[in-house]
């Protein structure tokens, strides 16, 4: 793991161990034996597992992959804090600032935030995080919290915790008739796809993602998506790994051998996560996407997964057509609570970069996509 005490954005360094920060030395933090440190990359997954999580969005391999979607020089890091009452770990991506002088931190693409056990002193954790950030030029931190983990409870009180929207979780409990539980609109779409002759395959750890990548890029172009969503080839390739915690599941829908619809998911120990979906005009006409989602859900149920997390709507909106599409797979399910957390560690640098002290809206402001 890179030593952020010595390396600046754009520089190269050999992996070094980060020195521990003792919260007892920091102003306003009780000396209770708590420690904030950077976990070595080789120990990342074991550390997270010890705290009770083996979810895709917490693992090291996914953070390495997600770093490829961020500015060049972005590096994954796992911070760990512990005291006599408990422990908390925070996976992050460290992004070089646009002016090259320092960093901002963010969750990996999708969902993230802290994991923990016991009842660690979150005020001490926040103070140690601020001190660490100040020493290493980290101006701000942005977390997209995981609705399945409900980890807003582990966010330090000095952060701004914001309820953004809801996400959809599909209950895959044993014995549930997933097809019968669909909203009538989704059942009609599935039947239409079947009558059209759609053939669906479900493949754990696919050998390649080239066709899916092309179909996804065409879908993003049709939807006039922001530049961020045109994922580079290195990202797709990084998902093809034998890492035990990064398990892609590819659902493909074909008509007469031609790929018309695809859904890429991640499999964790308990949950199935929808990651990206794609489809052409024919897929939209015959309801192929609904059929692919149902096939993924049935696979998850058959493999003893408890929930299929479909995510939210465009821009977090619960009134968007995308949210309505997802919610109709399990109309009676309780929505997940999607929260984000915003930290400003260096107010002066933040004001200089953002041109304001405000934190409302897109955060941090200098990462707002260009129109």
* Domain ranges for the chain: 29-164+339-367, 173-305
DSSP 33: S
Q: Are 296 and 313 in contact (CB under 8 A)?
A: no
Residue by residue, pLDDT tens for the chain (371 residues) are: 344 433 333 343 322 233 444 443 333 233 344 789 999 999 999 999 999 999 999 999 999 999 999 999 999 999 999 999 999 999 999 999 998 899 999 999 999 999 999 999 999 999 999 999 999 999 999 999 999 999 999 999 999 999 998 999 999 999 999 999 999 999 999 999 999 999 999 999 999 999 999 999 999 999 999 899 999 999 999 999 999 999 999 999 999 999 999 999 999 999 999 999 999 999 999 999 999 999 999 999 999 999 999 998 876 667 789 999 999 999 999 899 999 999 999 999 999 999 999 999 999 999 998 75
CA–CA gap between residue 276 and residue 261 (Å, rounded):
11
The structural architecture, per CATH, of the domain 173-305 is 3-Layer(aba) Sandwich (3.40)
CA–CA gap between residue 51 and residue 53 (Å, rounded):
6
Shared fold status for 29-164+339-367 and 173-305: yes
CA–CA gap between residue 144 and residue 156 (Å, rounded):
14
Per DSSP, the three-state class of 67 is: helix
- Looking at CATH, the fold of the domain delimited by 29-164+339-367 is given as Aminopeptidase (3.40.630)
Q: What's the pLDDT at 371? A: 57
DSSP-assigned beta bridge partners for residue 342:
142, 160
Q: Are 312 and 168 in contact (CB under 8 A)?
A: yes
Name residue, tokens 């995308």: 322
Q: Which residues contact 140 (CB under 8 A, 6 or more apart)?
A: 104, 105, 342, 343, 344, 345, 346, 350, 363, 364
pTM for the whole structure: 0.90
What Cα–Cα distance (Å) separates residue 37 from each residue in 40, 65, 103? 9, 23, 17
Helix axes 288-302, 184-195, angle to 10 degrees: 100
| DSSP assignment string, 258-275 | EEEEEEEEEE-SSEEEEE
Per DSSP, the three-state class of 320 is: coil
Q: Are 282 and 255 in contact (CB under 8 A)?
A: yes
Rounded to the nearest 5°, which phi and psi values hold at 159? -80, 155
């Amino acid at each position: 793991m890179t030593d952020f005490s010595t390396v600046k954005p754009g520089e190269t360094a050999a992996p070094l161990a980060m020195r521990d920060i003792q919260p007892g030395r920091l102003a306003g933090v009780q000396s209770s034996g708590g420690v904030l440190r950077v976990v070595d990359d080789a120990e990342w997954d074991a550390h997270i597992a010890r705290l009770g999580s083996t979810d895709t969005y917490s693992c090291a391999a996914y953070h390495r992959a997600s770093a490829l979607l961020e500015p060049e020089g972005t590096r994954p890091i796992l911070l760990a804090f512990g005291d006599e009452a408990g422990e908390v770990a925070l996976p992050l991506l460290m992004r070089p600032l646009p002016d090259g002088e320092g960093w901002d931190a963010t969750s990996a693409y999708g969902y993230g935030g802290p994991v923990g056990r016991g009842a660690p002193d979150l005020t001490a954790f926040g103070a140690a995080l601020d001190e660490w950030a100040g020493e290493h030029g980290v101006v701000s931190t942005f977390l997209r919290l995981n609705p399945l983990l409900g980890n807003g409870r582990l966010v330090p009180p000095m952060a701004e915790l914001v309820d953004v929207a809801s996400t959809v979780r599909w209950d895959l409990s044993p014995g549930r008739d997933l097809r019968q539980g669909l909203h009538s609109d989704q059942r009609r779409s599935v039947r239409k796809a079947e009558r059209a002759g759609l053939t669906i395959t479900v493949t754990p750890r696919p050998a390649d993602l080239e066709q899916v990548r092309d179909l996804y890029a065409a879908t993003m172009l049709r939807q006039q998506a922001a530049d961020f969503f045109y994922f580079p080839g290195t990202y797709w390739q990084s998902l093809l790994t034998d890492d035990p915690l990064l398990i892609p599941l590819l659902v493909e829908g074909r008509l007469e051998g031609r790929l018309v619809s695809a859904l890429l998911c991640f499999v964790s120990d308990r949950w199935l996560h929808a990651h990206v979906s794609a489809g052409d005009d024919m897929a939209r006409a015959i309801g192929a996407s609904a059929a692919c989602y149902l096939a993924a859900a049935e696979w998850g149920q058959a493999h003893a997964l408890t929930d299929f997390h479909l995510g939210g709507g465009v821009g977090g909106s619960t009134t968007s057509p995308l949210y309505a599409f997802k919610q109709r797979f399990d109309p009676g399910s309780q929505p997940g609570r999607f929260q984000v957390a915003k930290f400003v560690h260096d107010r002066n640098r933040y004001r200089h970069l953002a041109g304001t002290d405000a934190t409302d809206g897109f955060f941090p402001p200098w990462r707002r996509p260009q129109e």
